[in-house]
Amino acid sequence: MSFSEDPDLQPILFGLFLSIYLVMLLGNFFLMLASSCDSHLHTPMYFFLSSLSLADICLTSSTVLKMIMDILTHSRVISYVGCLTQMSLFILFVYMDNMLLTVMTYDCSVAICHPLHYAASMNPRLCVLPLFLSVFVSLLGSQVHNLIALQITCFEGMAIANFFCDASQLLNLACSDTLIRTIATYIVTAIFGLFPISGIVSSYYKIVSSLLKISKSGGKCKAFSTCSSHLSVVCLFYRTGLITYVGASVSYSPSKAMVASLMYSVVTPMLNPFIYSLRNRDISSSLKMLRSWWV
């Protein structure tokens, strides 16, 4: 489906979504560039942040590029294989964001709760292991969803009420009874979603407990500043996710679902680099240094 059937609005939508995609692409690219070029940012936190930026680029590219091409060619057709591929990639990078945010929260908790053991616990060589684990778990989750979708062999209609192939939309189009598949989908989503969320909540509980033990207010502010940007990104990611998959299902309409999906898969990845650059002095100084090199 398109955001509007009005032919006069198509150039405006094309320019809007192309601009949003380019801003997202440049913001995350410069964040990755700053983390790699500045030796002061060669730490586990910025290593995971660069990985998150790459996952955000891939997440948005898996949906927006097809939508921009559809507007440009005046065609909203996607093949069955292309639909499954897009769905798998979207779920893969959503889970990647989920896992990386969890790992980054753990990194913050170690830095605040156990600063003396941070160098040993978050050795740069050991940081590759959680990254590969995040990729493996995300790939496993996306393929499980793909296997569930492959069990659907008959469809009632061919109109997907979203601007990309969402797993829930494929279940809604099935001719046969999908109760078991729907239950399986919710179980898989709960397993791959609730465990990272519980890890984030547990880590921030430890962070808050450690902050309360600090007597000086200046020490509390300094300690909290190390994870304030990350906390903002976490809240934005899960808030838009809840609005997309919980709020839209309570009062469902295709237009609301599409806007919620747009916020979740496009706007949030676009805002992440700005949140980190505006609320993180190290990133801001590194970006200023890059700008001085080019100017």
Distance CA 170, CA 91 (A): 14
pLDDT for res 217? 62
Total domain count for the chain?
1
pLDDT for res 130? 87
Three-state SS at 155: strand
Q: What is the DSSP code string of 193-219? A: HHHHHHHHHHHHHHHHHHHHH---HHH
pLDDT for res 169? 75
Q: Specify if 2 maps to a domain.
A: no
Which regions of the chain does DSSP assign to beta strands (E)? none
Look up the CATH number of the domain holding residue 209.
1.20.1070.10
Q: Specify if 228 maps to a domain.
A: yes
Both tokens of 275, joined, read: 């949140």
Per-residue pLDDT of the chain (295 residues; tens, 9 = 90+): 777 777 888 888 889 999 999 999 998 998 888 878 777 777 888 888 889 999 999 999 999 999 899 888 888 888 888 888 999 999 999 999 999 999 988 888 888 888 777 777 777 777 888 889 889 999 998 888 888 888 777 766 678 877 888 877 777 777 766 677 777 777 877 777 788 888 888 888 888 888 777 766 655 666 666 677 778 888 888 887 777 666 555 555 667 777 777 887 888 888 888 887 766 666 666 666 666 655 5
Both tokens of 250, joined, read: 């309570």
pLDDT for res 96? 92
Q: Which domain holds residue 109?
A: 7-294
Distance CA 162, CA 260 (A): 10
Q: Specify if 242 maps to a domain.
A: yes
- Running DSSP on this structure, what letter comes out for residue 79? -
Q: Specify if 1 maps to a domain.
A: no
